[in-house]
Amino acid sequence: MPSFDIVSEIETAEAENAVANVTREIGTRYDFKGSKSTIEMADGVITIFADDDMKLRQMHELLQGHMQKRGIEPGSLDYQKEEPAAGQSVRQRVLLKEGIGKDLAKDIVKKVKGEKFKVQVAIQGEELRVTGKKRDDLQAVIAFVKGLKLEQPLQYKNFRD
């Protein structure tokens, strides 16, 4: 029986490369000369240290641009609350969203079943398995889920006949 998986994954090596590229660009840009702005990644959490809010916003743009070049969509970045650091500087953590949460998974299953596709959708941990008799039905489900305009980017993997 044909099936495929709906997942939300991030390649950590690509994310680390993007952070390294941002660090390199900060070191060469004129508007960051003399600032103590840094960006680090450890255990799937990116920490941004910036001198002020303006530099923090610039670092957000740099990070999103480099992540997109590496194939990681901006929806995968979960910006946490800004924290004041020493003096005027600011610190912010950015979490990388991986896996489909239970609420989102239930929502997707409900919407797919509401469209009366001839498929079964099962929640398996942090991914969804879609099974059907015809390949065309599965392709219709992929097109439908892509059209849902969800905040979190999804990938469609493991398509089997």
Chain centroid to Cα 155, Å, comes to 11
Looking at the structure, do residues 47 and 28 belong to the same domain, yes or no?
yes
For residue 52, name the pLDDT band (cuts at 50, 70, 90).
Answer: confident
Looking at 66, 96, 126, the residue that finishes a domain is 96
* Whole-number Cα distances in Å, 26 to 70, 76, 132: 18, 22, 50
Asked whether residue 86 falls in the same domain as residue 119, the answer is no
Question: pLDDT tens across 68-120, in order?
Answer: 999 888 888 888 998 888 788 899 999 998 888 888 899 999 998 888 889 89
Name the strand (E) or helix (H) holding 46: strand 45-50
- Judgement on whether residues 77 and 127 belong to the same structural domain of the protein: no
Q: Give the pLDDT mean for 137-156.
A: 88
Tens of pLDDT, residues 122-138? 898 889 999 999 888 88
CATH of the domain at 55: 3.30.70.990
pLDDT (average), residues 18-23: 92
Question: How distant is the alpha carbon of residue 45 from its chain centre?
Answer: 12
pLDDT at 161: 78
**Are 28 and 75 in a shared domain?**
yes
Q: What pLDDT is attached to residue 34? A: 84
Q: Please check whether residues 82 and 121 belong to one and the same domain.
A: no
Structure-derived torsion over alpha carbons of residues 136, 142, 146, 151, reported in degrees to the nearest 10: 160
The residue from 57, 74, 96 where one domain ends is 96
The reported pLDDT for the residue numbered 75 is 86
75 and 24 belong to one structural domain: yes
What is the rounded average pLDDT of the residues 49-69? Answer: 91
Q: Within this chain, do residues 85 and 22 fall inside the same structural domain, yes or no? A: yes
Q: Residue 131: which residues within 8 A CB-CB, separation 6 or more? A: 1, 2, 3, 119, 120, 121, 122
Cα 105 to Cα 57, 67, 84, 120, distances in angstroms? 32, 25, 35, 13
**What domain range includes position 31?**
12-96
63 pLDDT more than 90:
yes
pTM of the predicted model as reported, rounded to 2 decimal places: 0.80
pLDDT at 21: 93
Alpha helices in the chain (DSSP H): 12-28, 53-69, 102-114, 135-146
Asked if 6 contacts 123 with a C-beta cutoff of 8 angstroms, the reply is no
Do 17 and 90 lie in one domain? The reply is yes
